[in-house]
Amino acid sequence: MSAAGGKPEPASFRGSGPFLKIAPPLSLPMRHFALAALAFPVFAGGLLIGADRLTGFGIRPLFALGLVHVLTMGWILQTILGAWMQMIPVHGETPLVSVRAAKLGWWLFAAGMAGFVGTLWRGSLDYAPAAVLVYAGVLVEVAVLGLTHARAPRRDRAWAHFSAAFAWLAVLGLVGVLMAFDRQSGLIFAHPDGALIAHAHMALVGFAGLTVFGAGYRLFPWVAMHQLKSRGEGTAAFVLVNAALAGLTLDQLFFGGRLTPLWAVLLAAAYALYFSQMRSLLTAGPALDPSLALLLVGMVGGALWGALGVGLAFGWVRDDSSARAAYAYAALIGFYTPVILSQVHKIAPFLVWLHVYSPRDWTPPVKVPKIDDLTSRGLAWTEAALLTVAAPLGGAGFFSEAPGLIRAAGASLLLCAAVYALNTALTLRHIVRPDGRWTLPRL
């Protein structure tokens, strides 16, 4: 067909309409990211103002337990669930089975988490009902994601990792609820300390670890390219980490942790295999950017976490509350927080780009932003620098029971959280007011 004047009309070309038919409403992943962005500074502020309650004779176990769950359930779990709400349907090429149920699960979780942490911080031991509500919310969301995941025609390495992570999340939540009820009765777990160790490692290794490495196969191209050349390391790591974690869990729950050194060595070996797939970063890897820098910070933190874990398992490091706190901090802040930030800085801008600048069709000429145009590299570099300071300060502070170092780490983390929130706000502002430099798709 010709336009008036005899010239052919410029051909329209498709935007991301097909993806949007599969992707959930933007509000679904973003509500998870928003809750995570709130939990991150709350944890950092807790370190800053409550350092004296976390070490030595002044330790307040209920305050510490609440603060840890602000980080694990609020920051890490919510960030991962938010990313899953986008990745599972889009990469799996099948829509969520129920957006309404996913939203219901989020509300149940949010209410339960507020009640759980609030009960702990009031000094009450009656937190089991809130724990049940948290678990109900998680189960609803995992059911939605799992049923969607099962329908995916694309079943790659990431699909297998996510499947295992779903299972570990469901089991660790069940153990957590049982621990909440058993705290006052002591009838369920013959080895309460072992149950805590199993619960923590199902969260750190089974849920968070498998999710992070699974997502890496899709978000970090050099990892995916390495898998095309050699699938052996990835397969061995996946099998080894699940087998070792299953052995550690059963050993701690029912046999008093008799073979803890064995499981520690096997888990360390599994993580070494995962990290070996990223060795090209040190040779012919991509140009350094904030996302890659955060990943490298996490790799160093992960190595320190693993070394501390092996030392604790073999008795080379004294096994007391301060060493365990340092171990958990190394995992959560030294490893998972920078790695998660490195991935979120790819996911959140892509979501906004997908929904704002590429939902339908364009008619040339057009000027379309890149994903990196929707985020601030300078702010992301600042996040990486602040985490590089906070991770060793906090680890040293917990290990040596030095509240001053913990407060310094909390201050650095609080700044990092503020910068992250600002960077996220700069990305989300495109939803409210698209940038005039770019061509908007036709309605």
More confident residue, 443 or 243: 243
More confident residue, 19 or 98: 98
- Kindly tell me the burial class for residue 373, based on how many C-beta atoms sit within 10 Å of its own C-beta (0-12, 13-18, 19 or more): middle
Q: Is the pLDDT of residue 81 over 90?
A: yes
Quick one: pLDDT band at residue 436, thresholds 50, 70, 90?
confident
- Please state the rounded mean pLDDT for residues 367-392: 90
Q: Is the pLDDT of residue 17 over 90?
A: no
Q: Rounded distance, CA 325 to CA 7, Å?
A: 71
pLDDT for res 233: 82
- Please state the rounded mean pLDDT for residues 310-339: 95
Show the tokens assigned to 163: 């499947």
More confident residue, 310 or 156: 310
Quick one: pLDDT band at residue 3, thresholds 50, 70, 90?
very low
Reduce the DSSP state of residue 13 to 3 states and report it.
strand
Quick one: pLDDT band at residue 370, thresholds 50, 70, 90?
confident
pLDDT for res 283: 60
Q: Which residues, at least 6 apart from 238, have a Cβ–Cβ distance to it below 8 Å?
A: 157, 160, 161, 164, 210
pLDDT for res 439: 66
Cβ distance 397 to 405 under 8 Å? yes
More confident residue, 11 or 58: 58
Rg, Å, the chain Cα set: 23
Residue 9: left (phi > 0), alpha (psi -120 to 50), or beta?
Answer: beta
pLDDT for res 316: 96
- Please state the rounded mean pLDDT for residues 327-339: 96
* Highest mean pLDDT: which range of 58-62, 182-186, 326-330: 326-330
Q: Is the pLDDT of residue 205 over 80?
A: yes
399-419 residue pLDDT tens: 999 999 999 999 999 999 999
Quick one: pLDDT band at residue 308, thresholds 50, 70, 90?
very high
Of residues 196, 212, 209, 200, the one with CA closest to residue 240: 209
Mean pLDDT of the chain: 87
Identify the helix (H) or strand (E) that includes residue 14.
strand 13-14
Show the tokens assigned to 336: 């998972």
Beta bridge partners of 2: 8
In this structure, the chain runs to a length of: 443
pLDDT for res 346: 82
- Please state the rounded mean pLDDT for residues 53-82: 93
pLDDT for res 259: 96
The fraction of the chain above a pLDDT of 70, given in percent, is: 87
Quick one: pLDDT band at residue 177, thresholds 50, 70, 90?
very high
The fraction of the chain above a pLDDT of 90, given in percent, is: 63
Reduce the DSSP state of residue 5 to 3 states and report it.
coil
pLDDT for res 360: 57
pLDDT for res 191: 81
Quick one: pLDDT band at residue 40, thresholds 50, 70, 90?
very high
Q: Is the pLDDT of residue 142 over 60?
A: yes
Quick one: pLDDT band at residue 16, thresholds 50, 70, 90?
low
pLDDT for res 5: 45
E-strand stretches of 114-230? none
Beta bridge partners of 361: 14, 442
pLDDT for res 8: 43
More confident residue, 404 or 91: 404
Show me where the domains of the chain are located: 16-154
Q: Rounded distance, CA 115 to CA 87, Å?
A: 29
Show the tokens assigned to 354: 């997908």
pLDDT for res 18: 61
Cβ distance 162 to 116 under 8 Å? no
Q: Is the pLDDT of residue 282 over 60?
A: no
Window from 280-289, 299-308, 329-338, 425-434 with minimum mean pLDDT:
280-289
- Please state the rounded mean pLDDT for residues 436-440: 71
Identify the helix (H) or strand (E) that includes residue 140.
helix 128-150
Q: Rounded distance, CA 407 to CA 71, Å?
A: 16
What is the 3-state secondary structure of the chain? CECCCCCECCCCEECCHHHHHHCCCCHHHHHHHHHHHHHHHHHHHHHHHHHHHCCHHHCCHHHHHHHHHHHHHHHHHHHHHHHHHHHHHHHHCCCCCCHHHHHHHHHHHHHHHHHHHHHHHCCCCCCHHHHHHHHHHHHHHHHHHHHHHHCCCCCCHHHHHHHHHHHHHHHHHHHHHHHHHHHHHCCCCCCHHHHHHHHHHHHHHHHHHHHHHHHHHHHCHHHHHHHHHCCHHHHHHHHHHHHHHHHHHHHHHHCCCCCHHHHHHHHHHHHHHHHHCCHHHHCCCCCCCHHHHHHHHHHHHHHHHHHHHHHHHHCCCCCCHHHHHHHHHHHHHHHHHHHHHHHHHHHHHHHHHHHHHCCCEECCCCCCCCHHHHCCHHHHHHHHHHHHHHHHHHHHHHHHCCHHHHHHHHHHHHHHHHHHHHHHHHHHHHHHCCCCCCCCCEC
pLDDT for res 382: 96
- Please state the rounded mean pLDDT for residues 152-156: 86
